[in-house]
Amino acid sequence: MKVDRQYLLWGLVYAIAGMALGIYMASSANHIQHVTHAHILLVGFVLSLIYAVIHRLWLQEHSTAVLAKVQFFLHQGGALLMSVCLFLLYGALVPQAQLDPFLGIASVAVITGAILMFWLVLRTSQADMREAA
């Protein structure tokens, strides 16, 4: 399966999870997980969707490359770890001191994924991008 489709599918999973959490918060009148909700939707759904579009429109030839797969796993792993840790933190299920190292790892994974995406786009020539569009 190509990276663009993987990003799209994972993005939709995050969209469903984020909306489900939002519905739960609304129905329970307990909005303590609003930070988790926002991160699931923005880092998980929106950023995955943007990456899917970038791969689909401009990086088709590179979407099976090792670097594209590394970037995918860094982003998805970081987004998933971040979402779980934030849920545990704001749900007061695990103390912050225990979650901080994992949140740090997740944050570094997500930003490293963004830097790798920048690199993938940067190394794609202007001519390749015009041909793809």
| 85-115 pLDDT, tens digit each | 999 999 999 999 999 999 999 999 999 999 9
Separation in Å, CA 17 to CA 8, 61, 65, 113: 14, 31, 29, 21
pTM: 0.89
Can you give the pLDDT at residue 11?
98
Using CA atoms of 49, 51, 57, 61 in order, give the dihedral in degrees to the nearest 10.
-140
In tens, the pLDDT along 14-63 reads 999 999 999 999 999 999 999 999 999 999 999 999 999 999 998 877 66
Separation in Å, CA 112 to CA 31, 92, 106, 109: 30, 28, 10, 5
Of 71, 70, 49, 65, whose CA–CA distance to 4 is shortest?
Answer: 49
Q: How confident is the model over 110-129, as a mean pLDDT? A: 85
In tens, the pLDDT along 67-88 reads 999 999 999 999 999 999 999 9
Angle at 129 between CA 72 and CA 58, to 5 degrees: 25
Tokens of 129: 């991008």
Of 80, 55, 84, whose CA–CA distance to 69 is shortest?
Answer: 55
Tokens of 29: 């009148």
